[in-house]
Chain A
């Protein structure tokens, strides 16, 4: 189970490298993004540590069951849909964002909803699978994707085109006061631990998470790369001109002796895998939250035929996000993302706080 936690963590961190996080951070690069990175690093690591220690007190229980242990039923019934919406929104928003990006860069001749049909239906199928299948799928995807993403990042850092002077220049703005939106964006890199809210159900009774130093280590690396690599490639001023700064950064690199010379296509392909995986896990957990509203719901680790309820719930996720796509474009997207990143941070922090408090109370009876 250990490694599945880290797959989920690294997946979320790598995915956010491209989507809205760098856009928010780079917009604030001259007023507080750099100090926000440090604050986000501390907050993100603390939240991750706290939530994993708290959840280890409840082996085999997901967040819905833990809520039921300590809160009255009516409160649980109102809270679970909120969580369901959180997961649904995060993953659909990422999928829509990626669809728009693919549409802009690869398939401008067809409407975005056309592309979303394929991606969304794939996610519906994936999300209806059992928790076990999804964890296996997560492992396969991450083993295929992560090494190549790291290779591209490494290539970027070692590139002679990278202007270290530009990076040092921006790093000097560390003395500005951190801003809320940048901290919100920065902590989103660390948010992979939150997937344990449901996947904790799969954990065996004596489970202890090992190697938690990986959280701050990879988090710091990815956070710094997210922010500073585009600055090094596009300059302190030019970086804000790009809509999809990471696609452009990948397009600035070439692999002369690789099979595909333009790194951007490899990059987009990798991120296609990551976005699909993220949406699948997100929808699946959101689905679990909704199904857990009913007290009678029995979670099963694995099943050979997905229950009909799964199809209905995920089908309506698809329909909802599809309608959402028709109303969204890049401009509205970025505005929503900025608010969403802040709201999400507080919701998550509140959840983790709750988990810590109840895990302390849990200590005594055991």
Chain B
């Protein structure tokens, strides 16, 4: 303990320093804080090609209008669109159309127009990744036609603006084996990765809402081919082991459908150019002709296996022909081959790659009836 006199001597210094500190805090008043009721929250952004030479981009923002009632169909949104020479310019010009500050921090949906996706997505994706307030975990998708149309659509069931699209891709609401979600960070990873190519789910508008059941496969910059709904589901099954999906076969002209409850798929890529994939699917029959219970299950399983192998082969050959690699076969090759030239070898090998698929299907039951 210091004597009281010593403490008295120190007090002026301490208070002096405190006063300086307080003074230094004064310039902090002018920070860029904007109240929540003076902000417009962007819930979705669409980037299209406008077709004009001078202003090639068409930017559309869907803005949420806060509502005191949260009821299906009661939500209100404002959609603003503008043509611009650059994306960032477009967003800033839209600001001039509005009375509130734009906030992109809650935007979880980015829709790229069909024309843009077939042309070059690099600039648009670079812009999204570079912006500090755009989430790395935002969803990115391709529009069936114009991104603008997707944002214009107001689905009836929406409880708040943009909710339909978030639920579709978030896996919180619907869990469909035909939907494949793409996050922004993953898109950026696939765009830059050696041996793995990007994809985008395709959104189309329907009477009441959206239809998302196709997958566009891209090379590093543009769409090369689009998978049908069946192929998209198969892709989900083989790549992500997506359960609650179906596989089909036919018995004497009648379709038999099996709901997969357990899927495992494994593959290796060997250096002599053969990809071996093993798929195991187990599940119960959901739709079948009468008395399937007393059929020879082994025979049925063989039929499922044969059809699955055929479909998978067709899918692999389709993506191989398009020259894209959404599965990341190339990355697997690089991961399992110790060579600095592995990627070069892979590029030479991929067009001639042979596929060997071994499927195993197990029927666990026939549902509640024979």
Contact = CB atoms under 8 A, between A and B. Distances in A.
Please say whether chains A and B are actual partners in one complex: yes
B49 to A, nearest CB: 25
B31 A107 contact: yes
B136 A251 contact: yes
B335 A165 contact: yes
A109 B194 contact: no
B170 A256 contact: yes
Interface string A107-132: 11110001001100100100000000
B193 A237 contact: yes
A72 interface: no
B302 interface: no
Contacts of A165: 328, 331-332, 334-335
A359 interface: no
A165 to B, nearest CB: 4
A304 B1 CA distance: 8
User: What band does the interface of chain B fall in when counting residues whose beta carbon is under 8 Å from A?
Assistant: 35 or more
Interface stretch (A166-174, A195-203, A270-278, A323-331): A166-174
A141 interface: no
A118 B22 CA distance: 10
Contacts of B7: 305
Interface stretch (A15-23, A206-214, A228-236, A341-349): A228-236
Interface stretch (B79-87, B111-119, B181-189): B181-189
B132 A104 contact: yes
B39 to A, nearest CB: 13
Given A109-B32, A117-B24, A254-B137, A161 B193 contact: no
B28 A118 contact: yes
Nearest to B126: A241
Among A108, A164, A308, the most chain B Cβ lie within 10 Å of the Cβ of A308
A234 B132 contact: no
B191 interface: yes
A124 B25 CA distance: 14
A238 B2 CA distance: 60
B253 interface: no
Contact of B137 (A104, A124, A172, A252): A252
A248 B138 CA distance: 12
Interface stretch (B13-21, B229-237, B352-360): B13-21
Contact of B193 (A110, A166, A304): A166
A234 B332 contact: no
B269 to A, nearest CB: 11
B185 A252 contact: yes
A163 B188 CA distance: 13
Given A235-B193, A251-B135, A315-B17, A114 B31 contact: yes
B28 A163 contact: no
B43 to A, nearest CB: 14
B137 A262 contact: yes
A105 B132 contact: yes
A308 B10 contact: yes
B194 A236 contact: yes
Interface string B162-203: 000000001010000000000101101111111010000000
B90 to A, nearest CB: 19
A121 B240 CA distance: 51
B189 A235 contact: yes
A89 interface: no
A237 to B, nearest CB: 4
Contacts of B132: 104-105, 108
A172 B338 contact: yes
Given A241-B192, A308-B10, 16 more contacts: A108-B32, A109-B32, A110-B32, A117-B25, A121-B24, A165-B331, A169-B335, A234-B189, A235-B189, A237-B192, A238-B188, A251-B137, A252-B185, A262-B137, A308-B14, A311-B13
Q: Which 5 A-B pairs have the closest CB atoms?
A: A109-B32, A238-B192, A251-B136, A168-B335, A235-B193
